[in-house]
Amino acid sequence: MLRYLRCCVRTMSNTREQYKDAAKLLDPASTVAKITKRTKLENENAKFVNLEKLEYVSPLGKQGVWEIATRTTKPKGSLVDAVIIVPILKYPNGDKKLVFVRQFRPPCNGVVVEFPAGLVDPNDSIETCALRELKEETGYVGVIRKKTGVVWSDPGLVDANCSMVWVDVDMSLKENKTPVPHWMDNECIEVVDVPLNELEGKIDEWTKQGYLIDGRVQTLVIGMAMANE
């Protein structure tokens, strides 16, 4: 399993440097990354998310009330908030591997195994956003194989949605043999890849080690396991 990891920090020259102990920082047992305080946030003070109360009529004709969190950054006119990229590394010998990223997610207070992803910018197409975010987070370049329609992330709680994009990564290309990610300052990301035939076991192993598994990753693993039965 290939893995490479970098933690980025802002320096006086505004460059990025690699921490020598980066692997320890994203270890589930690490006590460095953690929630230090929780406070209630009023909508007028929120930058990315608002809390709303919905009044609605159900299919039974009954009135109801629902509380949701809504993203404030969705581009006007866009049906999709974000893209989730499912990259498959394809080697000349026929081997195939899935690419994941691991990073600390404050809402979960832990290190999450997830697919590369990013928010859709104004005037972005899903395809443009997917290939850009893949390059930025993993360093890989690829070709889009397929994309989904709108997928709702957690419809009982938020109105956030995404499109999942399947990307083929040709490992015979020079730029994919030594990928160079372009992380933002203060990002701490680990990129890992797993052979398809080892995926279910690896996810179980990561769970036992204390990593948190993104629901879309786990759903894919279950689907692949069911298809192979």
What string of H, E and C letters represents the secondary structure of the chain?
Answer: CCEEEEECCCCCCCCCCCCCCHHHHCCCCCCCCCCCCCCCCCHHHCCCEEEEEEEEECCCCCEEEEEEEEECCCCCCCCCCEEEEEEEEECCCCCEEEEEEEEEECCCCEEEEECCEEECCCCCCHHHHHHHHHHHHHCCCCEEEEECCCEECCCCCECCEEEEEEEEEECCCHHHHCCCCCCCCCCEEEEEEEEHHHHHHHHHHHHHHCCEECHHHHHHHHHHHHHHC
Task: Indicate the pTM of the whole model.
Answer: 0.87
pLDDT for position 3: 56
CATH of 3-33+49-228, one of 3.90.79.10, 3.40.50.300, 3.20.20.105, 3.40.50.2300: 3.90.79.10
Residue 80 identity (one-letter amino acid): V
Residue 58 vs residues 26, 55, 64, 117, 151: alpha-carbon distances, Å: 44, 10, 7, 34, 22
| Domain parsing of the chain, residue ranges | 3-33+49-228
CA angle 152, 153, 156 (to 5 degrees): 85
Q: What is the pLDDT of residue 20?
A: 45
- Tens-digit pLDDT string for the chain (229 aa): 555 554 443 332 333 344 445 567 788 888 888 889 888 888 888 899 999 999 999 999 999 999 999 988 888 888 899 999 999 999 999 999 999 999 999 999 999 999 999 999 998 999 999 999 999 999 999 999 999 999 999 999 999 999 999 999 999 999 999 898 887 777 788 999 999 999 999 999 999 999 999 999 999 999 999 998 8
pLDDT the model gives residue 29:
85
